[in-house]
Amino acid sequence: MKLDRRHPRYASLLQREALVKGYESGVTALAGLIAHGRGEAFDYLLGEVTTPMAEEAAEAAAALLLLAEKPVISVNGNTAMLCPRELVDLAETVGAELEINLFYRSEERARKIAEILRKNGAKEVYGVAPENEIPGIASLRKLADRAMILSDVVLVPLEDGDRTEALVKAGKKVIAIDLNPLSRTSQAADITIVDNVVRAVPLLRTKAEKLKGKKKEDLTRILESFDNRRNLEEVTKHIVNRFIS
Ligand code: ATP
Ligand code: MG
């Protein structure tokens, strides 16, 4: 079926189609489609646009990624289908490693995701056969490769709450991209960008490009003036207000 660009839900339909393709080719897990549905519901409530709150969070996140010594971007089956090129470009811009992390892990799925990232320009992809573990995670998401173990800052688009908490406990600074401001992931992360990954990842890159030439003190100032709790409160209020009016 060919999607018509004039359809009012064109962008949303494209994402669904990409994920269905991902499921059929063994890249996305069946449960990943359900997780996307939860995300879609929140995106609908946000009006499917990037809010000023998400802009602010993305700016702080870009500053943190640029200040990081060893940043890592975590990739799963959904993000590999939704925005592979954008993830690779962001990694390049901020000097981050890409590491695959899967709830429904199989080596075959991981290899397919690595292949997609390479096709989109990634030189090195971690996490195909990880041998280490992050303690305190009750799923195969506990598996970690060298990049994750050594990292100081981790970007987790579409994450599970328990891994977010475990990464924070392991001493990492965590940036989450999650459409649900109430999820455990959103609540536990140091910086939460409440936005769709298809918008948030390119936004992060644009912010990083803009901040790249700045001095360390300026980046630190941006980071320190950001308050995640307040940002999440504002997003939640924004959703409620849209409901009321
Ligand atoms: P948590 O484990 O953090 O409490 P959860 O169990 O409710 O969250 P999961 O199924 O673990 O949710 O992960 C899916 C999360 O990813 C949801 O919070 C959902 O809102 C979010 N999500 C799904 N699709 C997208 C997307 N395209 N962009 C951003 N976030 C998304
Ligand atoms: Mg979860």
Ligand 1 centroid from CA 214, angstroms: 33
pLDDT given for residue 143 in this prediction:
98
Ligand 1 within 6 A of CB of 193? no
The closest ligand to the CA of 176 turns out to be 1
What confidence tens digit (pLDDT) does each residue in 175-225 have?
Answer: 999 999 999 999 999 999 999 999 999 999 999 999 999 999 999 999 999
Nearest CA to ligand 1 atom 25: 39
Ligand 2 centroid from CA 156, angstroms: 13
**Assessment of whether the complete model's pTM goes beyond 0.85:** yes
Ligand 1 within 6 A of CB of 16? no
The overall average pLDDT reported for the chain is: 97
Phi, psi of 183 (to 5 degrees): -65, 160
Mutate-to-test residue for ligand 1 from 48, 49, 179, highest number of ligand atoms within 8 A of CB? 179
Give the residue extent of every domain in the chain.
52-244
Ligand 1 within 6 A of CB of 38? yes
Closest of 55, 73, 223, 231 to residue 147, by C-alpha: 73
pLDDT given for residue 199 in this prediction:
98
Nearest CA to ligand 1 atom 7: 183
For domain 52-244, give the fold: Rossmann fold (3.40.50)
Ligand 1 within 6 A of CB of 194? no
pLDDT band, very low/low/confident/very high, at 9 (cuts 50, 70, 90): confident
CB 155 within 8 A of CB 140: no
CB 93 within 8 A of CB 212: yes
What confidence tens digit (pLDDT) does each residue in 134-186 have?
Answer: 999 999 999 999 999 999 999 999 999 999 999 999 999 999 999 999 999 99
Q: How far apart (Å, rounded) are the C-alpha atoms in residues 159 and 137?
A: 12
